[in-house]
């Protein structure tokens, strides 16, 4: 079988893993500076999930 290129209008799906990981780490660091690393972890996780879901929903259909 020959490799056929994808149609020109198709785009690869976008991933939200990098923003999730970065916001998680940022939450821990900022929370640690404020004396509340666990709350920072949870806030970073919540924001990361929101961003990842938005990226997933706004991706190509």
Please report whether residue 9 resides in a domain: no
Instruction: Specify burial of residue 44 (Cβ count, 10 A radius: 0-12, 13-18, 19+).
Output: buried
- Global pTM? 0.74
Note the pLDDT of residue 45. 96
> Is residue 8 in some structural domain?
no
Instruction: Specify the higher pLDDT residue, 53 or 12.
Output: 53
First to last CA, the chain: 27
pLDDT digits 0-9 by tens, 19-39: 999 999 999 999 999 999 999
- Distances in whole angstroms, Cα of residue 37 to Cα of each of 4, 8, 21, 45: 50, 46, 15, 12
Please indicate, yes or no, if residue 34 is contained in any of the structural domains. yes
- Whether the CB-CB separation of 45 and 24 falls below 8 Å is answered with yes
User: Which range marks the domain in which residue 33 is found?
Assistant: 17-57
Q: What domain count does the chain have? A: 1
Residue 11 within any structural domain of the chain:
no
User: Is residue 30 domain-resident?
Assistant: yes
């Amino acid at each position: 079988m020959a490799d056929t290129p994808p149609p020109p209008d198709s785009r690869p799906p976008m991933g939200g893993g990098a923003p999730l990981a970065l916001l998680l780490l940022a939450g821990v660091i900022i929370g640690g500076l404020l004396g509340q690393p666990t709350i920072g972890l949870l806030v970073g996780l919540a924001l990361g999930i929101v961003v990842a879901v938005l990226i997933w929903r706004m991706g190509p259909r």
